[in-house]
A and B are shown apart, each in its own frame.
Chain A
Amino acid sequence: DQQVKQNSPSLSVQEGRISILNCDYTNSMFDYFLWYKKYPAEGPTFLISISSIKDKNEDGRFTVFLNKSAKHLSLHIVPSQPGDSAVYFCAVYAGNNRKLIWGLGTSLAVNP
């Protein structure tokens, strides 16, 4: 049973526009949320994170929003660039057991 769900397997966006990637989770005990991106034949690369005590975190073109009541987080990329084309994973921590629980990923294609 998926505890972390990324319901859109793929997303296509025009260069310069906003990309919005979504993630839903089931357990209100999850307290730390991370986004990674992954290129083929490489390991995941950390992008941005957010703690459950916040509802927004921003780093350059990347912003993560957390809605605890809806158990939903989203990653906004503005403006989108062709180099952003990759698979994006949402991952969450529950407590201090260091076990990251992952969504299945969303494949983002940014078209020139």
Chain B
Amino acid sequence: EAGVTQSPTHLIKTRGQQATLRCSPISGHTSVYWYQQALGLGLQFLLWYDEGEERNRGNFPPRFSGRQFPNYSSELNVNALELEDSALYLCASSHGQGVGETQYFGPGTRLLVL
């Protein structure tokens, strides 16, 4: 069974541009989560999507947004990029059926903002 996949693996942008990151969940999983891991910091929760709806959002500005498509894949968009947005962006998926669900992670997209 294929795991969570993310694309691209690396992305280089300049300040002020927009970045789009993509994630495909494990087959059968309906929930998708996005996390940011900046250098020297732990993983920070960004967004949770389930059944096409945004269910929860972390403490990030509105220029971080996303969506979930009917096939449960997801896109994270970061507008007006700032230097401090440089980080590893991780996507995870889960069954979406209960409390304490295990989240399974993809390999991440490393975003560098110059």
Residues of A within 8 A of B (CB): 2, 4, 31-32, 34, 36, 41-46, 49, 51, 89, 91, 93, 95-105
Q: A31-B100, A101-B45, A105-B42 are in contact. Are A43 and B56 (CB under 8 A)?
A: no
Determine how close the nearest CB of chain A comes to the CB of B22; give it in whole angstroms: 15
Residue of A with least CB distance to B46: A99
Q: How far is the CB of A54 from chain B (nearest CB, A)?
A: 11
Stretch among B66-74, B75-83, B103-111 lining the A interface: B103-111
Q: Which residues from chain B contact A96 at a C-beta distance below 8 Å?
A: 99
A89 in contact with B43 given A43-B4, A43-B105, A99-B56 (CB within 8 Å): yes
CB within 8 Å: A-B pair count: 63
Q: List 24 A-B contacts (CB under 8 A).
A: A4-B42, A31-B99, A31-B100, A36-B105, A43-B105, A43-B106, A43-B107, A44-B105, A45-B105, A46-B102, A46-B103, A46-B104, A51-B100, A89-B42, A93-B99, A93-B100, A97-B48, A98-B31, A98-B50, A99-B48, A99-B58, A101-B45, A102-B42, A104-B41
Q: For A41, give the chain B residue with the smallest CB separation.
A: B107
